[in-house]
Amino acid sequence: MNDLEQERWNKGMELLTQMGRQETMLNQKEYPDLYNLSVGFLFGEIWSRPHLNIRDRQLATLAAAIAMAHPVGVGIPAHCRSALHMGFTKEQIMELIIHVGMYVGWPAMIHAYSQFLDVLKEEQAKAKDQ
């Protein structure tokens, strides 16, 4: 492991410890590259990014897991509008899209990003009309 990978891994393990999950994913140790990616990249890099705290990320991850098993709702644009209305920033919504995208896949992330851009354009147009 190089210095950057070690730093990410340490950060990931610190986060997992805060979550009480330091004993999870141990079965991945049989393939060390997978375990190191899970701890170092997923938790040390993605879960440690700015704009969402650990509680928000846990909720987003739970929401993604639920959504993958039981897709329900009125769609991404409606939820983006609601989030903006409730005071979420553009950066927080984008961070949520990135975070969930890491779990559900790149195409889903880009699809959500595209819809969010449309919502932002609509909101900007509304603001200009007022």
What is the reported pLDDT for 120?
A: 95
Share of the chain above pLDDT 90, in %: 29
CA distance 106 to 112: 10
If asked whether residues 36 and 62 sit together in one domain, one would say no
Specify whether 62 is located in the same domain as 109. yes
Same domain, 65 and 123: yes
Question: Structural domain tally of the chain?
Answer: 2
32 & 62 share domain: no
- Assess whether 101 and 59 both reside in one domain: yes
Give 70-102 pLDDT, tens digit per residue.
Answer: 333 346 776 777 788 778 899 998 998 888 888
57 and 44 within one domain = no
Residues 74 and 37 in one domain: no
pLDDT digits over 61-71, tens only?
Answer: 757 644 553 33
* Mean pLDDT calculated for residue range 26-43: 89
pLDDT at 3: 94
Do residue 41 and residue 58 come from a single domain? Answer: no
Q: Which residue has the tokens 């928000």?
A: 56
User: Could you list the residue range(s) of the whole structural domain that residue 17 is in?
Assistant: 1-48
If asked whether residues 93 and 44 sit together in one domain, one would say no
Distances (CA, A) of 114 to 48, 50, 83: 24, 21, 16
> Over the stretch 3-12, which tens digit does the pLDDT of each residue have?
999 999 999 9
Judgement on whether residues 66 and 83 belong to the same structural domain of the protein: yes
Q: What is the pTM of this model?
A: 0.64
Looking at residue 64, its pLDDT comes to 65
Let me know whether 76 and 15 are in one domain. Answer: no
Q: Are residues 62 and 17 located together in one domain of the fold?
A: no
Distance between CA 35 and CA 29 in Å, rounded? 5
Q: Residue 9 corresponds to which amino acid? A: W
